[in-house]
Amino acid sequence: MRRPLRLDPRPHRREARLDTLVKLAWPYDWPYTWPYAWLITWLITVPSLGCAGRRPSPPTGPPVTIVVRAPAELAPALQQSLATADVPVELRFAELPPLPPVRRPRLGFEDRLATARRLYIEADFPGCQQALRGESLETALLGDNRRTTAGRLLLWRLACHVGAGEPERAERVAQRFAVYDLEIPRDVEAVTPEVEAYLGAAVTAVGEAARATLHLDSDPSRAIVAIDGRPAACTTPCDLDLPPGDHVVRLHAAGARPMIQPIKLPQAGTRRSLTLPSAAPVEIARQWATRYADSPAIDSADSVRLLSRAVRAQRLVLVTAEGDPALRLRGVLSVDDRIAARSERDTSPSQAPKTAPALLEDLLTKGQVVAPPKPLVRRWGFWLGLGLSAAGAATITGIVLDRDPPRTEVRFR
Partner 1 sequence: MIARIIPLALVLPLALATACEQDVRHVELVLGSVAIPDQVAPRGLDCVDQDGRLMACRIYDPDPPVLTMVVDMIPLGGLPRCRANSLQAWCAEATHDCRPDLDRRAIFELSLPPDRSLLEVFEAMKSELSGQVLPNPLVSEPVIVRATFLAQDVATVEAAGEEPSCEALVGCVYSCPVVLDGVEGELPLELDAFNIRCMAEVHQCASNPIFAIEPACSGASGTPDLDPLCR
List interacting residues with partner 1 (CB under 8 A): 1-3, 5-8, 12-13, 16-17, 19-20, 23-24, 27, 36, 39-40, 43-44, 47, 50-51, 392, 396, 399-400, 403-404, 406-413
Q: Are strands 270-275 and 212-219 parallel, antiparallel or unpaired?
A: parallel
Of 157, 176, 146, the C-alpha closest to 263 is 176
Asked if 342 and 362 touch (Cβ cutoff 8 Å), the reply is no
Which CB atom, from 22 or from 297, has the smaller least distance to partner 1?
22
Cis amide leading into 56 (omega within 30): no
**Shortest Å distance, C-beta 356 to partner 1:** 25
Which CB atom, from 140 or from 400, has the smaller least distance to partner 1?
400
Which CB atom, from 51 or from 164, has the smaller least distance to partner 1?
51
Which CB atom, from 390 or from 399, has the smaller least distance to partner 1?
399
Which CB atom, from 19 or from 144, has the smaller least distance to partner 1?
19
**Shortest Å distance, C-beta 80 to partner 1:** 23
Which CB atom, from 42 or from 273, has the smaller least distance to partner 1?
42
**Shortest Å distance, C-beta 28 to partner 1:** 11
**Shortest Å distance, C-beta 18 to partner 1:** 9
Question: Exposed (0-12), middle (13-18) or buried (19+): which is 53, by Cβ within 10 Å?
Answer: middle
Residue 45, φ and ψ in degrees, nearest 5:
-70, -45
User: Residues for the chain: how many in total?
Assistant: 413
Rounded to whole angstroms, how far apart are CA atoms 288 and 296? Answer: 13
Asked if 254 and 274 touch (Cβ cutoff 8 Å), the reply is no
Which CB atom, from 27 or from 105, has the smaller least distance to partner 1?
27
**Shortest Å distance, C-beta 375 to partner 1:** 21
- CA angle at 99 for the pair 96 and 102, rounded to the nearest 5°: 170
Asked if 214 and 247 touch (Cβ cutoff 8 Å), the reply is yes
**Shortest Å distance, C-beta 407 to partner 1:** 5
Which CB atom, from 52 or from 352, has the smaller least distance to partner 1?
52
Rounded to whole angstroms, how far apart are CA atoms 400 and 75? Answer: 56
SS3 sequence of 340-376: EEEEEEEECCCCHHHHHHHHHHHHHHHCCCCCCCCCH
Q: How far is CA 384 from CA 46, 245, 373, in A?
A: 12, 82, 18
Rounded to whole angstroms, how far apart are CA atoms 260 and 273? Answer: 13
Rounded to whole angstroms, how far apart are CA atoms 77 and 329? Answer: 13
**Shortest Å distance, C-beta 31 to partner 1:** 12
Asked if 12 and 406 touch (Cβ cutoff 8 Å), the reply is yes
Which CB atom, from 45 or from 149, has the smaller least distance to partner 1?
45
H or E segment at 195? helix 193-208
**Shortest Å distance, C-beta 55 to partner 1:** 13
H or E segment at 169? helix 167-179
**Shortest Å distance, C-beta 4 to partner 1:** 9
**Shortest Å distance, C-beta 42 to partner 1:** 10
Which CB atom, from 20 or from 348, has the smaller least distance to partner 1?
20
